[in-house]
Each structure stands twice: as structure tokens, then as C-alpha cells.
């Protein structure tokens, strides 16, 4: 018996429409998760209160608000101050990954990701947040 809630609701913000589509299939159909995807930070933040995700996945490089900017915005919102955030990025140099972790993300998933295991990878990260 786990001492914390199972992961069900994820918000994923990604500006690349094709990646959004494949990630949705990976998380929803393979991972049986309740996922909402958005194209940008403004859209994501507009529906976050209604959806109340347990975990948020953010692309790093996006026009308008980028991933790190959305993260700092979330940290000012009382309801999402402690919500785990994962960065998903094609910026994969070790120093870049280290930099993203320092910004307060619980983990970084690099692109290309594995659609068949993406949901399990996210669940594993969710578990480490509750150790």
C-alpha cells in the first residue's frame, strides 16, 4: 500500500504539434493517464485551476513563455507551488540538463523520448517525489 496518491492527471505544455500528438498517445493510450496538452504557457495556465494536474511536463524552448518561465510562474501560485514539474527537452548536453534541474524541476526527460515507456518513466519520477 503506497502512502501517496497514484498519478492520474498530467498537464503537458509543448509547442511542437507533432510531438504533442505522439506524447498524447503515449501517455493516454499506452500509459492510461488523464493528460491535457497545450501549445503554450498562457493556454496551460488558463486551464490549470479547472484541471488541477498532479504533475506538469514542460517543454523548455517555446516561443512566448518558455519552460523555465512557466515553472517560476507556477511557484508563485499557492496551489501549484509544490506540484512536481518535469522538463522535456531536446537540449541534452549534460550542463544544460544540470541547469534545468537547478531551476527546480524534479527531473529532465530528453528528446527523443520512448513513447512505449514514457508513462512509466513519469510514474517512476512521481514515486521518487514521494520517497
Q: Report the interface residues with another protein, using CB under 8 A.
A: 15-19, 21-23, 25-26, 29-30, 39-40, 61, 63-64, 89-93, 96, 111-116
Phi first, then psi: what are they for 89, rounded to 5°?
Answer: -150, 150
CB of 59 to another protein, least distance (A): 10
Q: Considering beta carbons, is residue 63 or 78 the nearer one to another protein?
A: 63
Q: Are 82 and 104 in contact (CB under 8 A)?
A: no
Q: How far is the CB of 119 from another protein (least distance, A)?
A: 11
Q: Write down the least CB distance from residue 79 to another protein, Å.
A: 26
Distance (Å, whole) CA 90 – CA 88: 7
Alpha-carbon gap, residue 48 to 25, rounded angstroms? 21
Amino acid at each position: 500500500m503506497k502512502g501517496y496518491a497514484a498519478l492520474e492527471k498530467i498537464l503537458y505544455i509543448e509547442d511542437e504539434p507533432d510531438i504533442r500528438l505522439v506524447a498524447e498517445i503515449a501517455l493516454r493510450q499506452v500509459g492510461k493517464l488523464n493528460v491535457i496538452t497545450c501549445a503554450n504557457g498562457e493556454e496551460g495556465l488558463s486551464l490549470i485551476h479547472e484541471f488541477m494536474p498532479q504533475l506538469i511536463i514542460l517543454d523548455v524552448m517555446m516561443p512566448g513563455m518558455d519552460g523555465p518561465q512557466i515553472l517560476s510562474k507556477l511557484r508563485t501560485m499557492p496551489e501549484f507551488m509544490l506540484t512536481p514539474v518535469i522538463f522535456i527537452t531536446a537540449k541534452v548536453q549534460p550542463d544544460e540538463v544540470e541547469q534545468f534541474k537547478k531551476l527546480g524541476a524534479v527531473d529532465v526527460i530528453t528528446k527523443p523520448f520512448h513513447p512505449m515507456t514514457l508513462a512509466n518513466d513519469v510514474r517512476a519520477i512521481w514515486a521518487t517525489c514521494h520517497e
